[in-house]
Structure 1
Amino acid sequence: MYIKKIIVAIVLLGLVVAAFFANFVYSAMFRPNTAFNNETAYIYIPTGASYLDVREQLNPLLKDIDKFDALAERKQYITHIKAGKFRITKGMNNNDIINSIRINNIPIQVAFNNQESIEKLAGRISTQIEADSLSLVAAMKDTLFLKQNQFNKATMLGMYIPNSYEFFWNTSGEEFRDRMLTEYKRFWTETRVAKAKAIGLSKNEVITLASIVHEESKAADEQPRIAGVYLNRLKVGMPLQADPTLKFAAYQLPEYKNTVIKRVLNKHKTIESPYNTYLNKGLPPGPIAMADLTAIKAVLNAEKHDYYYFAADAEHMGYHRFAKNLSQHNANARAYQSYLNRQGITH
């Protein structure tokens, strides 16, 4: 009888333990464990992160971090951390959370435009992906990469076609650069290459000219006409005489650092620089800034006309007056210079 009581006690204890264990397993795996009120929360797991790094981000989002720890260890997540951006939905249980942060790396949209240099582009991108600006600049300026892909220091910015692209957050500097090369090649379809050839320009030259067009006018409906003016000048061997290139050349000089040139003066036209298109015929060595997509398309689909000159139109700000001859242009230019004088803009 005594032995039977012991057996019964052991069985009952086993049932209690089993029930406790079953409840613990159920609680650890299937009971909702989120502590936030929003519908969704996100965590960003860096490359090379430890479980403690992940735990630190999860702790304020979960009701019971200890039960999460237990399941994470049982499912071997602790030793198999994945980098990326991950979504946690309100009401998720620990099992769902672990599955989500293990396999559901969420793509993000990375966008950029109108960057003036590789450094500024890197700074813009570093706010959107894991790679920092220094690693991005190093990857973008890698001399071997540039040489292998027919770019150089002057033309490298032209490889980055401004747009919105889908990336994983944990993208490295090299991965970003390589993806942009792929997008650059994809952009240059046979049709676009043929259009560039028809106007006598290489791909780099199209983007260089587009950067000037974009700096001259942000009005998409006017850019093809401005592109046509510059192409007309190139055809007859005239200097481009593009004021934005003078500003670019000036900004490379110490005396113009941290300044804004609002009015191009005669002294700017004497700056010794390959980017001075008053002193040098043809296109400058590379883009003076990142060309907008509309400007690139404007060059490839430039308006055909007989204009060789244009000047800013004070009566329609953001637009220009076009001229076929120098006397007409001088009249347009004087009108705009008078406007600048009335506004007190002297430099």
Structure 2
Amino acid sequence: MQYPSAIKLIAFLILIAEFSIIALALFLFLPLANKGLEFQINKGEDFGVIAQKLEDAGAVRSIWGLKLAEKISGGGNMVKAGKYKLEKDYGPFALVELLGNGPKKIIVRIPEGSTLVDVDRIFSEAGLLKKGTLFLLSQRLEGYLFPDTYEFYAGQPLGEMLEVINANFNSKTKDILPAGQEGDKAIILASILEKEVQTEEDMRIVAGILLKRMSSGMRLQVDATLCYDKQFATMGEWKDCYPITEEDKNSKSPMNTYRNHGLPPGPIGNPSLSAIKAALDPASSSYLFYLSAPNGETIFSQNYEEHKKNISIYLR
């Protein structure tokens, strides 16, 4: 009988199988030197397509190892779209977990009164889009990029980001902002108030002054409209708008409220909720002129002579 030899052979084969399984497991599941790799996952993409993409990119040793890790962890249906950059070496299980958590979150703030050019710069510096993308998309976004803090993810489509911002704008203004042209005019006026004065109380007074000027046939003569024109014309490269020159005041731009009557044709920035409320609830006063002192205080005047005196006191 040769049972001992057979037992030895079986034991040897089992040992070989164990080593093979261990070697295969190490090959499939140990972290790969994939730190620094970047890849894009598109919304709605099938996990099989994602796995093939990651194998092609060198993020995993084998598509089967990643698929097996996904089956074991059950994370394939939770993959979040976006642009990923691997900050360390990942194995299949860690990679599936990363895909479930989503790409790096990017938090940006749109400041009150910021312009389309400003927002374009903020988003491009944060790595959310290429510089000039917003600027070239449409100037009609001006005034409706609601100032707030937003959380996006790397590689998020611009359309999705704009949907988030637009939903926030609608949520904050739906109960106060009229529809149609009246609402558009309120946003234009609010954008001027945001640039011209600081407190909501002063905004209401200035709103009343500007509306009074228009109803009496006066030009608004708002410096901020000239500054906006300069910034927009130079894609934000114009560093300081002041001093305002006679050439500025004689500009043929439709935004020039020294030359043209009425409101400018569009907003000159993205106003806060306080500015929008002030535009919709102007305060009645005896004032017709105002200026902003260097400390931010708004100085009001009832007539031009008084205004000239205030200029000599506060601005010279």
Q: Secondary structure at the match of 1:101?
A: helix
What letter matches 1:102 in structure 2? L
2: distance between equivalents of 1:54 and 1:111?
34
**Judging changes above 3 Å, is the alpha-carbon distance between structure 1 residues 99 and 247 closer, same or farther for their aligned structure 2 residues?**
closer
Tell me which residue corresponds to 1:283.
263
Which of 274, 298, 302 pairs up with 1:324? 302
1: distance between equivalents of 2:85 and 2:231?
44
What is the Cα deviation at residue 285 of structure 1?
Answer: 0.5
Deviations 1:138-193 (A, max 9, x none): 5x33xxxxxxxxxxx4x43122112122333331223333443333333331x212
**Judging changes above 3 Å, is the alpha-carbon distance between structure 1 residues 164 and 54 closer, same or farther for their aligned structure 2 residues?**
farther
What is the Cα deviation at residue 242 of structure 1?
Answer: 0.9
Q: Secondary structure at the match of 2:142?
A: helix
The answer to whether 1:132 aligns with 2:130 is yes
Which of 167, 179, 182 pairs up with 2:167? 182
1: distance between equivalents of 2:55 and 2:304?
72
**Judging changes above 3 Å, is the alpha-carbon distance between structure 1 residues 267 and 84 closer, same or farther for their aligned structure 2 residues?**
closer
**Judging changes above 3 Å, is the alpha-carbon distance between structure 1 residues 84 and 42 closer, same or farther for their aligned structure 2 residues?**
farther
Scaled by the length of structure 1, the TM-score of the pair is 0.67
What letter matches 2:119 in structure 1? L
What is the Cα deviation at residue 266 of structure 1?
Answer: 4.0
Q: Is this contact kept in 2: 1:86–1:101, CA < 8 A?
A: no
**Structure 2: unaligned runs, 5 residues or longer:** 43-49
Tell me which residue corresponds to 2:177.
193
Q: Is this contact kept in 2: 1:28–1:94, CA < 8 A?
A: no
Scaled by the length of structure 2, the TM-score of the pair is 0.72
1: distance between equivalents of 2:233 and 2:129?
31
1: distance between equivalents of 2:131 and 2:55?
26
Give the % identical residues.
Answer: 23
Tell me which residue corresponds to 1:101.
98
Tell me which residue corresponds to 1:13.
12
Q: Is this contact kept in 2: 1:29–1:93, CA < 8 A?
A: no
1: distance between equivalents of 2:156 and 2:224?
34
1: distance between equivalents of 2:232 and 2:190?
20
Aligned length: 297
2: distance between equivalents of 1:258 and 1:18?
72
2: distance between equivalents of 1:88 and 1:173?
23
Where in structure 2 are the equivalents of 1:195-274 lying within 5 Å?
A: 202-219=182-199, 222-249=202-229, 258=238, 260-274=240-254
**Structure 1: unaligned runs, 5 residues or longer:** 36-40, 57-64, 142-152, 340-347
Where in structure 2 are the equivalents of 1:8-87 lying within 5 Å?
A: 8-21=7-20, 23-24=22-23, 45-47=39-41, 50-51=53-54, 55=58, 71-72=65-66, 74-75=68-69, 83-84=81-82
Q: Is this contact kept in 1: 2:230–2:238, CA < 8 A?
A: no
Q: Is this contact kept in 2: 1:128–1:169, CA < 8 A?
A: no
